[in-house]
Amino acid sequence: TCILTPALVSGQAFGAFLYKHCPVVAERFSPTPWCWGGRLQTLVCAVLKSRPAVTYRNELIPTVDGGQISLDWMDNQDSATYPDSSTRPTVLILPGLTGNSKQSYVLHALNQARRRGYRCVVFNNRGLGGEELLTPVTYCAANTSDLEHVVQHIKGLYPSAPVLGAGVSLGGMLLLNYLARKRTDSGMVAGITISAPWNALKSAASMEEPLNWLLFNRYLTAGLCSAVTRHRKVLEKVVDIDHVLKAQTIREFDERFTSLLFGYKSCSDYYFDASPDNKLHNTTVPILCLNAADDPFSPQHAFPLTTIQSLPNVALLLTAHGGHIAFLQGLFPRGESYMERLFGQFVQAAFEHPKDIRKACGVTDEHASPPSVG
């Protein structure tokens, strides 16, 4: 399929809402002229993208199994739009596979939210936020219990402040699986995903193509193994660490570590459970998903276009180019790009026009979208 301009796959009413409140949706996406292909966009973004300065307030919250989760807050106390912290809208950011609050895409997302007066909190997956791993439990795309715990914690601190979930790559899979599982009881007013893989099995196959393995897969696998090594003393109680560390691909790592840790009979079972494409119909809140057709991590043939077309609350913005968490524009693409502008505009639209977005998405249950205050 040739996608010349961004294609919006959505229900009619949600599409109209997005065109009205998110002008970037109607723009033609022109990638950096010298950086056209998806692989190149992905690599160049990792090297060139600027890193806005952010000062975090770290919070460690205990979990029921005796573990801990590291949250990094950007409180935005100087917010002129929402001076009362009790009603200041909160963006909950879920980073990618080996990512944390230090990733450039997280820092840029925070910038977009901060300038609009919102608060942000980054949910660092267990063992990746610089904290000690207290129990032999890490994270996976299918297990939403830690995310549920974090959302309850945020709502407990600020019960009158609306929460929006933003998931990037694996974080997007986790967010979609959470929203599908919790349905009208998610505690979120909306969700946005960027470069989320829709089918874990198809993504694994794409990432095992020789060039993708050479450029991305082995690097990410090394990052996963590095995290295991860092927490070896705790994890060696439940898995064969030496066998895990010999993994050459993400799939081998998941076979030897993730699927075992979370009680799956096979890696295939885990991948089925982790794939959001087969449970998207259970979601109820408004969700915007951004994907590029040339993303080596999330192949185009896995996009659930037919499913999304049948749902009033989900929209997929599909670009021909953009790679994985890149979407670079301009001759020297260091700063704000298409991805960041879409994120900022959608977050603002969801927080500032709660009734309109609920109506456009056919949301009638108040539990799914608590009214915005402020």
Q: Which residues are catalytic?
A: 169, 295, 324
The DSSP 8-state label assigned to residue 216 in this structure reads I
Q: How many helices (H) and strands (E) does the chain have?
A: 16, 9
Structure tokens at 227: 């995290």
Cβ atoms of residues 72 and 57 within 8 Å: yes
Question: β-strand 90-94 against 119-124: which pairing, if any?
Answer: parallel
Quote the DSSP letter at residue 99: -
Residue with tokens 């914690």: 153
| CB contact at 8 A, 48 and 346 | no
Rounded CA separation 219/202 (Å): 19
Name the DSSP letter for residue 125. Answer: P
Residue 315: which of 298, 291, 292, 334 has the closest Cα? 291
Contact in structure between 329 and 277 (CB atoms under 8 Å): no
CA dihedral 169, 233, 70, 337 (to 10 degrees): -30
Q: What is the CA radius of gyration of the chain?
A: 19
Contact (CB, 8 A) for 151 and 157 = no
CA dist 339 → 32, 99, 345 (Å) = 13, 17, 10
CB atoms closer than 10 angstroms to residue 30: 12
Helix (H, G, I), strand (E, B) or coil at 288: strand
| Residue 155 structure tokens | 């709502």
